[in-house]
Structure 1
Amino acid sequence: MAYIRKVKTASGATAVQIAHKHKGQITKIIHIGSAHNDEELQLLLAIAQKRLRENQLELFPEAKSSLRLSIKRSYSDLLWRTLQKQYHQLGFDQLGDEVFKALCIARIVEPTSKLDSLRVLADLGVPPIDRNKLYRCLVKAANLDYRRIISQACFDHVQGNSITLLLYDVTTLYFEIQEEDDYRKSGLSKERRLEPQIIIGMLVDQNGFPLGLHSFEGNKAETKTLLPVIEAFQAQHKLSKVTIVADAAMLSATNLEELSKAGYTYIVGSRLHKVPYDIAEYQKKGELRDQQIITMQQENYRVIYQYRAKRAALDHRNIEKQVSKAQKALNGQIPATKMKFLSVTAKSKQLNLKLVDKAKALAGIKGYVTNLDISDEKVIEYYHQLFQIEATFRMAKSDLRARPIYHQNRDAIEAHLTIVLAA
């Protein structure tokens, strides 16, 4: 059987409970609540009666309580305190800027404009922040170089002195404007957009944890971003014996030479513009086997080529799609726009079979350049850690909505990037 009981608590309140008894023993107790006055007690007893009767139909209408409940205010205090704790654990509180901290937390909770962040903060229960303080915070973040302090805190957090592998890559962030200036320029967009943009170069550790961020003009060549970022990192942290990992976009003779001079080892993706001689010799004798590695030793570095059957299957599918598209253009089914395997002149257009054969010969092959004295397999394993920085960029762009950028002046733009980095 089940019945309602009232029990006095240590605080003097009256607890209302539903007790279940079997063969004289209480087997289960459901606590309804504790009342501090008669009105609360009657309300809890009514709730207990309803729970006890469950879905039974009432013969008589239930008496209404005179007690009225209303929500005066709601806010996410637990979320605020949790994110604030993480902010402090990372060492960002050394900035001593409560407004900056609030903007970073607001960016995580609901990425929106800086002005609309005041609404987000109000929902978190944060005391109102004057909008002028918000704008002054952006100027202060740029003038006092908050990013350097945050980068140092990140470095300390991951015990940076023990770092042996640094991952580097770039991305682009576009602006909701049409006119360029000396900083925001149209260039090669990662998202194939035409708006003015800036280039972001980022360093992370091998787990994808951000260690540094730099911005460049939107039309700057990617190969020219690597050295300034590495030099700034070295100047701040004085690290040696670190391996830099970057994709093929960073491959240039100047970059490799300067990295070697600075005492760094490196692993950089290699662009294949033609079939390497050693691979061509293998292909004459027969097909490459899955996971096969071919190495070419140069004076100061070595080039590692690996063939993967899975990658080759994907490459062949893409080649067939491009050939099919080019064939449709030749047949007049679609416009003859710029296509990889279509050669167009003023008088004729034709399928570039030589280029198709070359693409098929390179299918499944990936190259890596390194001056690191470790096994070929380990070089490839380290290179594939670049997915970590790609994930970091996706998080910044999607979860934190780093773009589009609406700020106009350089200080505000840099402050925006610093907030995204900290978030």
Structure 2
Amino acid sequence: MKVTTSKSKNSESFYITQSYINSNGKSTSKRIRKLGTLKELTESLGTDRDGVMAWAKEQARLETEKYKKDREAKTVLVPFHADRQMDYDCQKLYKGGYLFLQSIYYGLGFDRICRKIRDRHKFQYDLNAILSDLIYTRILEPGSKRASYKAAMDYLEKPSYEKHDVYRALDVLAQECDFIQSEAFKNSNFLIDRNDGILYYDCTNYYFEIEQEEGGKKYGKSKEHRPNPIVQMGMFTDGDGTPLAFSIFPGNRNEQQSVKPLEKTILQKFGHSKFIYCCDAGLGSESNREFNHMGERSFIVTQSIKKLPAEDREWALNGSGFKRLSDDSAVDLSRIGEEEKRGLFYKDCPYTTKKLHQRLIITYSPKYAAYQKEIRRRQVERAEKMIASGKRKAQRKNPNDPARFVGKLAVTKEGEKASIQYYLDEEKIAEEARYDGLYAICTDLLDDDVAPILKVSEGRWRIEECFRIMKTDFEARPAFVRLENRIKAHFLTCFLALLVYRILEKKLEGSYTCEEILSTLKEMNFADIEDQGYMPLYRRSKLTDALHEVCGIRTDYQFITRQKMRGIQKRSKGRE
């Protein structure tokens, strides 16, 4: 505290003033108390100006001691003035949920990764600040790159770069995409125990709001059934659904061809060569199986029963030879009792192709069979309505289209031309019913128990959940960037955001849903109280306690001084 004076034409006023560092990191000061005018003080104290100044300094010293005692007692007294207007452009609300993501970001060593990249490219902007803000805003407030920069301006730590630097950084991030992924994977092993003995692979695609193909943005089969050009993403996750690597390829390319290039990157740059490759039937071609049969790798892939050779298909559809998974006792599927309807049954046999000796496992689930039967019943009802209305729509390639059950007859019994007659194809319905409840898996693990193999295959829902989070919660599509490098960088930031989120989720031990975690982080706001510190504006809950616990910081005090908040920011970066 110090004494300052203010002179006007007719008087001189004395104040006690406090210096501090404001939210922008600049040194400034504010008046704590008005002591009075020189005329008032000389009359009340009975002294001259020098005596008034000595008295004022003593008051400042006493005010300083009081302030220090209040700090030691963890009590903060902040003066408010009902007759004082707010300053222009004075920000009072700040967002702090990113601090918990920041602890994961720095735990993954992205600051060190960015320094290595900077040393190679010799740019001047702060790549670490740009990348971190792109990741935080993708999780908390997804939007365009311009919107991300604007959103980051409301964080407790404002951007240390300009908006145009973001677009320059995208080109560098695209060039260093594989390096960033490999380093993130290696560093993630220091944060969590990764279940990287199992790798799930799947593909999805993202549309662009454009009408013509351009570069890698090609017309293809969109997951959203949109008529827009798309790019495709192939992604590996570990056995717990934590992202490991991804690649981007044109929208018109066969996704089967995306597996080997990305897997070779994992083998060469990630230094990871021993795992079980698991995917659905669409990515389990003979070539991909053969590739994953080499070295220390194995595969567990879904197999289409309809595409099996005739002899193997009939064996799979035959209800005999099944065993109960729980105790391996023989079961006849035609005689399953009501108490067994929730069980799972299987049978297996050798399955040899031209190049591989495999094992074919067929499972049967009564519960899944009942579900499929109900779905088909509703589709048959819709098909009957089509026939009754005489307005049969052209069948699409969608295998669930009810029009597939509508047959067409356009000749008489004598073979003469006749009007078109539509009918319900009972034979097709009966043929599809044969597959109810059945599921097939192929693997080169010839001697392993069936239960662990099935458990690995069932875990594919985790990678599907990753794509759902990226598309729905992180709003990765539609993508608005246009240049190829920037498209790649955009999906890199989405991938890294998913990695950061998944690690935080795993640290929370799966106790909370994605919606609960994200909504809580988004609500963790702070009010700036007269530049003295911050007041939390969120509700304390079991989840906020868990977030503080796993991230090693605490922001749930009634009041947080500016100095203490700077300490929290440092701890979230692992610097204190």
TM-score using structure 1 length: 0.80
**Gapped regions of structure 1 (runs ≥ 5):** 1-7, 17-30, 44-64
CA distance in 1, matches of 2:234, 2:430: 36
Match of 2:258 in 1: 225
CA distance in 2, matches of 1:288, 1:265: 36
Match of 1:21 in 2: none
* Residues 14 and 35 in structure 1, CA contact (< 8 A), matched pair in contact too: no
CA distance in 1, matches of 2:320, 2:427: 17
- Of 203, 208, 220, the residue aligned with 2:241 is 208
Larger relative contact order (Cα-Cα within 8 Å, sequence gap ≥ 6) = 2
Q: Does 1:370 align with 2:443?
A: yes
* Residues 15 and 34 in structure 1, CA contact (< 8 A), matched pair in contact too: no
Q: Give a deviation string over 1:231-281, Cα, whole Å, max 9, x none.
A: 221122343331011012112222112221354211111112178323443
Query: Helix, strand or coil for the counterpart of 1:112?
Result: coil
* Residues 155 and 211 in structure 1, CA contact (< 8 A), matched pair in contact too: no
CA distance in 2, matches of 1:74, 1:168: 46
Q: Give a deviation string over 1:156-194, Cα, whole Å, max 9, x none.
A: 313699721111111111111110134111212222222
Match of 1:296 in 2: 349
* Residues 227 and 255 in structure 1, CA contact (< 8 A), matched pair in contact too: yes
* Residues 266 and 273 in structure 2, CA contact (< 8 A), matched pair in contact too: no
* Residues 196 and 275 in structure 2, CA contact (< 8 A), matched pair in contact too: yes
Match of 1:24 in 2: none
Residue identity in the other structure for 2:187: D
Q: Does 1:313 align with 2:370?
A: yes
Q: Does 1:92 align with 2:110?
A: yes
* Residues 107 and 420 in structure 1, CA contact (< 8 A), matched pair in contact too: yes
CA distance in 2, matches of 1:35, 1:237: 54
CA distance in 1, matches of 2:442, 2:219: 31
Measured at CA, do residues 134 and 309 of structure 1 come closer, stay the same or move farther in structure 2, by a change above 3 Å? same
Residue identity in the other structure for 2:153: A
* Residues 175 and 196 in structure 1, CA contact (< 8 A), matched pair in contact too: yes
Measured at CA, do residues 32 and 177 of structure 1 come closer, stay the same or move farther in structure 2, by a change above 3 Å? same
Match of 1:341 in 2: 405
Residue identity in the other structure for 2:132: K
Query: Helix, strand or coil for the counterpart of 1:132?
Result: helix
Measured at CA, do residues 132 and 319 of structure 1 come closer, stay the same or move farther in structure 2, by a change above 3 Å? same
Q: Give a deviation string over 1:274-331, Cα, whole Å, max 9, x none.
A: 7832344326975274411011212311111111111101100111122222222222
Match of 2:97 in 1: 79
- Of 484, 487, 506, the residue aligned with 1:413 is 487
CA distance in 1, matches of 2:159, 2:173: 21
Measured at CA, do residues 288 and 244 of structure 1 come closer, stay the same or move farther in structure 2, by a change above 3 Å? farther
Match of 2:470 in 1: 396
Residue identity in the other structure for 1:281: N
- Of 91, 112, 115, the residue aligned with 2:146 is 115
RMSD: 3.0
Residue identity in the other structure for 1:304: I
* Residues 147 and 418 in structure 1, CA contact (< 8 A), matched pair in contact too: no
CA distance in 2, matches of 1:240, 1:66: 68
CA distance in 2, matches of 1:223, 1:32: 62
Match of 1:157 in 2: 188
Q: Does 1:169 align with 2:242?
A: no
Q: How far 1:364 moved relative to its partner?
A: 0.7
Identity %: 25
- Of 176, 179, 196, the residue aligned with 2:212 is 179
Q: How far 1:210 moved relative to its partner?
A: 0.7
* Residues 481 and 487 in structure 2, CA contact (< 8 A), matched pair in contact too: yes
- Of 380, 393, 396, the residue aligned with 1:323 is 380
TM-score using structure 2 length: 0.60
**Gapped regions of structure 2 (runs ≥ 5):** 1-61, 116-126, 322-331, 337-342, 396-402, 411-419, 498-576
CA distance in 2, matches of 1:136, 1:211: 26
